[in-house]
Amino acid sequence: MEYIKEAEVLEQTISNEVEQTVKSIIANIRADGDAAVQEYEKKFGNSDRPVRVSEEEIEDCMKNLPEEVKVLIDRVVDRVSAFAQAQLECLTPFEKEFGEGIRMGHRIVPIERVGAYVPGGRFPLLSSGPMVVAPAKVAGAKQIVACSPANYKGGIHPAVLYGLIRSGATDIFAIGGAQAIAAMAYGTESVPEVDVISGPGNRFVAEAKRQVFGKVGIDLIAGPSEVMVFADDTASPRKIAADLLAQAEHDPFARAILATTSRKIAEETIQEVESLLETFSPSSPAHESWKNWGEVIYTESLQEGLDICNDYAIEHLHLHVKNSRELLDKLYNYGSLFINEDSSVVFSDKVSGTNHTLPTQKAARYTGGLWVGSYVKVLTHQEITGKGVQFLASHAEDQSEIEGLEGHKLSATVRLN
């Protein structure tokens, strides 16, 4: 392999300052509840409004949001919910015999209280609320607490708020950042305590999720967006460039990477990216993202390219390769896979139905990201009777004797005939 363009910045780290700031926020909210939340909202969000979104705000949003925007969001909710429902139907409870008198199985049980964090960001992302909340609703969560920053005219952007309502959020709060994560994890006078927290966010949100993990469950710690396009000599440099920049514009720290078996495609794509960037707003994060984090890699063979894809374990892996479906079984480390050059990552970002809360920074080695299964528990059970009791008790008695566990041995022995 050869880097035609190498990233100028090689590592993202959470600074000690971020870690300590978040630690302090969590401690203060645990101690002072709503008062601390309000203090941090004033400090970081310039907001002094009540944290709970009122019924009047919800009614106003439902009444005044333009119908064409509602149609778009409704479609997102419906498609994300439909895909989550199809996934849930694959999770099958069972019970069967594993020897005479030994019945075991598992049940699929929804997590009761879900916390959903929806970032405000630079733009009101219409799909972010449904992506986090709708699968929890499908899973059967009884309470879905949603937090999003009050960064639009003193409240949550109406389009984001509508998405939360339509997706099934039961309690909505105009709180952002680490203070939102702390409030949901530990509860305050206003914010209910939850069992699991999901959703993307900035480095403070990510660090807060890391610090509260254990007190609550989390989906994953997601960093800035990532995309890797894997292309051969049949690919279109312009389409590749467009797909790279679509993710680069998410964040100055986003990573847009091309791996290709064609040096010609590599060089032409760089030219296309630089040409297209001239049409972007000077304030677009895509400029800094491409300059600092963009990469173009020339691979000497298709197999070397596949190895690179699996090694990078990227969030979005997009195949601009002839007969790309044939490569499916050779790829196993990615957040989500996009098969053929027209399966744009943007479709998934917006409306196709798969979830866009995905693993970054090589976390795709061990998780596929947020899905309906993130909101259920697989609970095992067993019932032992008759000959099953004698068989298992005899084994447990012998094993406990070897291990030196008197209580374990006793519990088995009293059940032996």
- Specify whether the CB–CB gap between 162 and 70 falls below 8 A: yes
Burial of 71 (0-12, 13-18, 19+ CB in 10 A): exposed
Closest to 400 (Cα-Cα) out of 386, 415, 388? 415
> Which secondary structure element, helix H or strand E, spans residue 106, and what is its range?
strand 102-110
CA 251 – CA 104 distance, rounded (Å): 48
Residue that the structure tokens 């009050």 belong to: 150
**287 catalytically annotated:** no
**316 catalytically annotated:** yes
CA 351 – CA 341 distance, rounded (Å): 18
- Specify whether the CB–CB gap between 242 and 277 falls below 8 A: no
Give me 71's structure tokens.
Answer: 């149609």
Residue 150: strand, helix, or coil = coil
**DSSP class of residue 52?**
B
Closest to 326 (Cα-Cα) out of 232, 226, 256, 412? 232
Helices of type H across 173-262: 177-186, 203-212, 237-248
CA 132 distance to own-chain centroid:
8
Burial 376-411 (b: 16+ CB within 10 A, else e): bbeeeeeebeeebbeebbeebbeebeeeeeeeebee
Residue that the structure tokens 């849930």 belong to: 88
Which one-letter amino acid corresponds to residue 303? Q
Identify the active-site residue in 207, 272, 315, 341. Answer: 315
Please give the torsion angle defined by the CA atoms of residues 162, 163, 164 and 169, in that order, rounded to the nearest 10 degrees: 100
- Specify whether the CB–CB gap between 333 and 310 falls below 8 A: yes
Identify the active-site residue in 316, 318, 320, 356. Answer: 316
Which are the catalytic amino acids?
315-316
